[in-house]
């Protein structure tokens, strides 16, 4: 009986340790956005900004039928992506960034549903950075009829979400200094043969956002401004040419 009680106690200790550990991890600080990213959350002569529930919305002043739903990278302050997303909106594309629970897109993969259902006349592209891109790929794989295309920033789909037979347009952006470059290139085979792939020499993982160095990442050989300009121009051209 004593042995049984000891086993129960050990099991309970392990169980509660896992719960506490998970809670600490989910609520632990990730990569914080630079303070100047707050400048992206204001209106200007080209774009109006608003936010509601779990979304940040940049709406071009001139009417548009193009839209981009963005899922942030894992454990990265979502505000880190605001500057380039606002710049994309200034080019005439409505942009909606989803604020994810615990900064992990895996907890709200279907967030795009509520966006698309409100504005079905817009040609929506979905995408994201890193984990956010992987979850966007999962959504795209299950909802091909709802979107126009998929945009992956330093990301790739899981094998279970293979997009080999995906009929919509796909764009993959990554740098040769990215900490995940081997995984990205190994899994290009999971994308459709017509996918557009753009590898930027000197670009790394962290400079897809404004949040500074990331543990394990390669050292960029181009500056943040140059990498962000490449992301902006390539993403905008991909959406507008379709």
pLDDT at 3: 55
Q: Which CATH class is domain 32-240?
A: alpha beta
Hey, what are 93's tokens? 């594309």
CA distance 230 to 222: 11
Closest CA to 214 of 101, 3, 73, 20: 73
Helix extents (H) in 28-146 = 82-90, 112-118, 131-142
Give which of 99, 203, 197 is closest to 156, Cα–Cα. 197
Dig out the tokens for 75 from the structure.
């454990």
* DSSP for residue 64: -
pLDDT given for residue 22 in this prediction = 33
Helices H, strands E: what count in the chain?
Answer: 6, 8
What's the pLDDT at 53?
86
Name every residue whose Cβ is closer than 8 Å to that of residue 13 and which is 6 or more positions away in sequence: none
As given in the structure block, the two tokens for residue 145 are 């009829």
d(CA 27, CA 25): 5
Sheet holding 169-175, edge to edge: 47-52, 55-60, 94-98, 66-71, 123-129, 149-153, 169-175, 196-200
- In this structure, the number of other CB atoms found within 10 A of the CB of residue 49 comes to 17
Q: Assign 183 to helix, strand or coil.
A: helix
Q: What is the pLDDT of residue 1?
A: 53
From first to last of its 242 residues, the chain has per-residue pLDDT tens of 555 544 443 333 333 323 223 333 334 459 999 999 999 999 999 999 999 989 999 999 999 999 999 999 999 999 999 999 999 999 999 999 999 999 999 999 999 999 999 999 999 999 999 999 999 999 999 999 999 999 999 999 999 999 999 999 999 999 999 999 999 999 999 999 999 999 999 999 999 999 999 999 999 999 999 999 999 999 999 999 97
Let me know: does 231 contact 95? Beta carbons within 8 Å.
Answer: no
């Amino acid at each position: 009986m004593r042995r049984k009680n000891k086993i129960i106690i050990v099991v309970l200790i392990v169980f509660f340790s896992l719960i506490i550990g998970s809670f600490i991890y989910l609520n632990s600080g990730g990569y914080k956005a630079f303070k100047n990213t707050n400048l992206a959350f204001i209106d200007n002569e080209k774009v109006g900004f608003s936010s509601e529930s779990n979304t940040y919305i940049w709406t071009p002043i001139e009417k548009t039928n193009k839209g981009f739903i963005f899922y942030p990278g894992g454990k990265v302050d979502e505000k880190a992506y605001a500057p380039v997303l606002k710049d994309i909106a200034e080019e005439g594309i409505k942009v909606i960034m989803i604020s994810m629970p615990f900064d992990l897109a895996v907890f709200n993969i279907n967030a795009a549903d509520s966006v698309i259902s409100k504005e079905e006349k817009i040609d929506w592209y979905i995408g994201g950075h890193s984990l956010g891109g992987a979850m966007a790929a999962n959504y795209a794989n299950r909802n091909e009829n709802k979107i126009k295309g998929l945009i992956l920033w330093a990301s790739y789909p899981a094998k279970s979400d293979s997009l080999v037979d995906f009929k919509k347009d796909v764009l993959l952006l990554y740098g040769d200094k990215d900490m995940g470059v081997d995984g990205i290139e190994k899994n290009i085979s999971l994308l459709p043969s017509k996918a557009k792939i753009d590898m930027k020499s000197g670009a790394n993982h962290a400079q897809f956002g404004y949040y500074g160095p990331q543990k394990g990442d390669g050292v960029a050989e181009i500056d943040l401004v140059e990498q962000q300009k490449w992301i902006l121009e390539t993403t905008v051209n991909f959406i507008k040419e379709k």
